[in-house]
Amino acid sequence: MRPWLKKTLVGVGGLVGTIAVGGGGFVWTKTSAYAASMTRVYDSPPPAMVASSDPEVIARGKHLVESLGACASADCHGADLSGGKTLEMGPLGTLTGPNITPAGIPLAYSDGELGRLLTRGLKKDGTSVTFMPVQEFGWLPDEDIVAIISYVRSVPPVEKPNGVMAIGVLGKFLDRQDSIVLDVARRIALAPREQPPAPAPTPEYGRFVARLCTGCHGETFSGGRIPGTPDSIPVPANITPHETGIGAWTYEDFERLLDTGVKKNGEKVDPFMPIEGIARANETERRALWEYLRTVPPKAFGGR
């Protein structure tokens, strides 16, 4: 080999090696920080919540579980709450919502511990729950959280083992980069809970309801690929009033999407968009959501 070539190759090799080792170290630091955070036991006592057997409370809980809570969608805990379908998210990991019927997770939890899980993202042992988007619905007022617990305690128990939950290195890394949320409690366990106004068809209430859309459509609602997801996961649309979003939509177009799953352009919406849950939102919630989405700053597609 010619000396200059050898020298160049050694130089390039050294550079590549430095990047690989340096990058590897960076990733290792991030994944260790993730692991440390996920084993942290938070000092947050369970609230004094008690499940009710009042049929009205249970009916309110059923409504929330099937609509705003999004608990009963196929990708989450499933229609009978016995566990969702497994989501293969490539290098992000594999996610399956567990069995939350009385024969599943709630068996081991007190009512207060379930209340803490649903408002603080903390499991029975005080560590963070993985991926369950408490940051999107934990704003529900205490009486709604009690209604959810009451309903979950009332459904028929289903004996079914929990599916796979495994977070990949990319998932841990992107969580630490704040690109996706897997370590839920780190964001919310100790933060003050914002109080929503009473339900009304207004943007003020809609701002809370719309938290539900942020995990997919992004914090600014402008959509774009969810970081780290493989091509098999569809790309969330822009739902801001921008021309690349839903600027030209009317409330009737929005209602049609919820009721029939058909977008303004006449195509069927991808089933990854949890239409069956959002469609069960009542008139007040739908209006509030729509009114709020009209007030968010228009933003070009993909800004998330």
Positions that interact with ligand HEC (CB under 6 A):
212-213, 215-217, 234, 236-237, 239, 246, 257, 263-264, 269-270, 272-274, 278, 289
For ligand HEC, the closer CB: 101 or 229 = 229
Distance CA 116, CA 49 (A): 9
Which one, 42 or 272, has the nearer CB to ligand HEC?
272
Residue number, 114 or 278, with CB nearest to ligand HEC: 278
Q: Which residues contact 226 (CB under 8 A, 6 or more apart)?
A: 180, 215, 216, 233, 235, 236
Q: Between residues 58 and 70, which has the closer beta carbon with respect to ligand HEC?
A: 70
We find the least distance from the C-beta atom of residue 15 to ligand HEC, in angstroms, to be 40
Partnered with residue 93 across adjacent β-strands are 167
> Is the Cβ of residue 71 or residue 246 nearer to ligand HEC in the bound state?
246
Q: Are 234 and 195 in contact (CB under 8 A)?
A: no
Return all residues near 157 (Cβ < 8 A) that are at least 6 apart: 101, 102, 103, 104
CB of 248 to ligand HEC, least distance (A): 10
The tokens 């939350």 sit on which residue?
100
Inter-residue contact 21 to 28 (CB < 8 Å): no
Distance CA 104, CA 10 (A): 58
The residue among 219, 209, 301, 224 whose CA lies nearest residue 258 is 209
From the CB of 107, what's the least distance to ligand HEC, in Å?
A: 28
Give the nearest distance from C-beta 214 to ligand HEC in angstroms: 8
Minimum distance between the CB of residue 44 and ligand HEC, rounded to whole angstroms? 26
Structure-token match 């959501």, residue found = 289
Shortest separation between residue 213's beta carbon and ligand HEC, angstroms: 3
Which CB sits closer to ligand HEC, 215 or 298?
215
